[in-house]
Amino acid sequence: MIGIYDKVTFISDIVNFIFVLAVFAVTFKYRHGFVNKFPSLKGFYYTILVSLGIAVVGNVIDVLDNLVIQGHYLGSQFTDQLTSWIYAITIAFIGISWIKVIVNIVERYNPVPVVREDIEKTAEMNLDPGLYICTNENKCYNYFKGLLAERPGLVISRNPPEIVRETLGLKETPILWLTKIERKDTVYPTNLPYLMQTLVDFMKKEGKPKVILLKGIEYLITENGFKNIFKFLATLKDYAIVTGSIVLIPIESKAYEDKDFHLLIREFRVIE
């Protein structure tokens, strides 16, 4: 025969168990999606997942401690000590996770500096603020370098910064590399929120108009899908307008389906 030693405590423990189990289940379910979007926080996520798993075990013991089976009360000094150790380990894991987040943010987040490239101004670049699609890559580069003579700039590229600097003849302009390699000057291709925040922070900084060259848009589409990138670009265009900035995006028109290409040229201005 099974009885309950303390019904109030038993109900409380059951509620806690259901809550912790639900949090663990959701965390476990979305682990791959989270890690794919925020790879630098992988250690934090899995440490939290382990701590939740340990907490579930501790809650199971708490529930069993309230049972009385054939007159024998399952709770004991040993189980009390065991649950105390389990909760101490859980808190320790959460503390470790928090430290990992702090270290990651401090070391990973590197605000893009606002610097001027020493380039001689050869012509007036009469472009209104906004986002421009460039079907001619070389012309896009010429516009970008011309605008660099007037305002600070930033390059986002699929190629490593060393190659971009050599190709475009840049010395001071910051360059971020779209790659899955972990470095301070890289952006993970599926981490669109981080990329957006980086670009917006740069455009807003010091209240000066900026110019951004975003190369590798086809790579971003491969990693995230056209729909997500279109929304990303539409939002980026709005921020460019309100900050007086210009975003230049060279594209290969043959890489797009007709409906997608027409959607791009309908939403964004085109430099041919």
pLDDT digits (tens, 9 = 90+) for 174-205: 999 999 887 778 888 988 988 999 999 999 99
Q: Are strands 246-250 and 269-271 parallel, antiparallel or unpaired?
A: unpaired
CA distance 225 to 231: 10
Considering the domain boundaries, does residue 75 fall inside one? yes
Considering the domain boundaries, does residue 117 fall inside one? no
CA distance 126 to 104: 41
140 and 246 share a domain? yes
pTM for the complete prediction? Answer: 0.67
Considering the domain boundaries, does residue 122 fall inside one? no
179 and 103 share a domain? no
63 and 102 share a domain? yes
201 and 165 share a domain? yes
| Sheet of 246-250, strand order | 186-187, 175-178, 153-157, 211-214, 246-250, 130-134, 269-271
69 and 182 share a domain? no
Task: Report phi then psi at 115, rounded to 5.
Answer: -130, 155
Which DSSP string corresponds to 142-200? HHHHHHHTTS-EEEEESS-HHHHHHHHT-SSS-EEEESSS--TTEE-TT-HHHHHHHHH
Considering the domain boundaries, does residue 204 fall inside one? yes
The two three-digit tokens of residue 270, written as one number: 């085109």
Q: Are 174 and 154 in contact (CB under 8 A)?
A: yes
Report CA torsion sign: 207, 212, 217, 223: negative
Q: By residue range, what is the domain housing residue 253?
A: 130-271
Q: Are 270 and 133 in contact (CB under 8 A)?
A: yes
User: Residue 44: helix, strand or coil by DSSP?
Assistant: helix
Nearest CA to 220 among 247, 240, 191? 191
More confident residue, 17 or 237: 237
Q: Are 73 and 41 in contact (CB under 8 A)?
A: no
Q: Report pLDDT digits (tens) over 117-147.
A: 777 776 667 889 999 999 988 888 889 988 9
pLDDT-based confidence at 109, cuts 50/70/90? low
Considering the domain boundaries, does residue 120 fall inside one? no
CATH number of the domain that residue 180 is part of:
3.40.50.300
97 and 40 share a domain? yes
The two three-digit tokens of residue 177, written as one number: 């590399």
231 and 188 share a domain? yes
- Which of 60, 75, 108 represents a domain boundary (last residue)? 108
96 and 170 share a domain? no
- Number of domains into which the chain is organized: 2
Within 10 angstroms of residue 108's Cβ, the number of other Cβ atoms is 14
Name 219's Cβ contacts closer than 8 Å, sequence gap at least 6: 158, 178, 189
Rg (CA), the chain: 27
Considering the domain boundaries, does residue 123 fall inside one? no
Report the interhelical angle of 258-267 vs 226-243 (nearest 10°): 10
136 and 264 share a domain? yes
- Which of 48, 74, 108 represents a domain boundary (last residue)? 108
What is the per-residue pLDDT for 36?
75
78 and 160 share a domain? no
What is the per-residue pLDDT for 74?
59
136 and 94 share a domain? no
Considering the domain boundaries, does residue 222 fall inside one? yes
Considering the domain boundaries, does residue 119 fall inside one? no
Lowest mean pLDDT across 13-22, 27-36, 74-83, 225-234: 74-83
What is the per-residue pLDDT for 123?
63
